[in-house]
Amino acid sequence: MPKEKKLAIYPGTFDPITNGHLDIIQRAVSLFESVIVAVTTNPSKAPLFTVSERVNMIEEATSKLENVTVENFSGLLMHYAEKRNADVIVRGLRAITDFEYEFQMALVNRKLAGDIVTVFLMPNEKYTYLNSTIVKEVAKFDGDVSSFVPQNVHENLIDRFKNE
Ligand code: ADP
């Protein structure tokens, strides 16, 4: 299938990136000409990793994918998306529980910038139970998260929790 010549932004906290996020990025790459993974700097949650640590981990994990770049942004997503001339916002939908929040966000974002389309992608079902919070919980108590996150993230998690 020829790719749409479109710029897609995949925004999130990515604290840290998981195999579920990577699955969505791969799907976005197969659909759109270029994909920006955009890490929010908004401190709504107290993150485990700094913005630059999160950006670096995503860069390493996506280094083999063509046309993926990683950036950070602050403030409103739609202001940033307009500035970058994005066509599409990509979000991942895991389960019905994601739906209500994502639906609300997508409609608000459409009001803010009607030309930018939100596209929802579903990951492989083996990732539907994954989120960054559960990965951090398991890693914190020495559980094995090697099948949940890319290798570099696994190493960073071990390092971060080794003194606890
Ligand atoms: P946010 O704080 O914006 O929700 P996240 O990093 O938690 O940031 O998630 C970014 C996006 O990735 C969201 O659309 C979320 O639904 C999606 N996502 C998170 N984990 C997964 C997963 N395991 N599979 C598919 N999509 C996911």
Of 94, 125, 127, best ligand 1 pocket probe by most atoms within 8 Å of the beta carbon? 94
- The pLDDT value recorded for residue 43 is 73
The Cα 157–Cα 150 span in angstroms is 11
Query: Is the confidence at residue 45, as pLDDT, over 80?
Result: no
Tokens 């979000």 -> residue = 91
- The pLDDT value recorded for residue 116 is 97
- The pLDDT value recorded for residue 68 is 98
Question: What residue spans define the domains of the chain?
Answer: 7-161
Closest CA to 74 of 117, 39, 36, 118: 39
* Closest protein CA for atom 9 of ligand 1: 12
Backbone CA torsion sign across 91, 97, 100, 101 = negative
Residues in CB range of 30: below 8 A, 6 or more apart: 1, 3
Query: Is the confidence at residue 19, as pLDDT, over 90?
Result: yes
Mean residue pLDDT across the chain:
95
- 67-72 average pLDDT score: 97
Please, what is the angle between helix 132-140 and helix 151-161, to 10°? 50
- 36-51 average pLDDT score: 91
125: which 2 tokens?
A: 């079902």
The Cα 106–Cα 101 span in angstroms is 9
- Neighbouring C-beta atoms of residue 68, cutoff 10 Å: 21
The Cα 132–Cα 13 span in angstroms is 9
The model's pLDDT over 106-129, given as tens digits with 9 standing for 90+, comes to 999 999 999 999 999 999 999 999
Query: Is the confidence at residue 3, as pLDDT, over 90?
Result: no
Task: Give this prediction's pTM.
Answer: 0.95
- The pLDDT value recorded for residue 157 is 97
Q: Give CATH superfamily name and number for 7-161.
A: HUPs (3.40.50.620)
2: which 2 tokens?
A: 């020829």
98: which 2 tokens?
A: 């994601």
**Ligand 1 proximity of 73 Cβ (cutoff 6 Å):** no
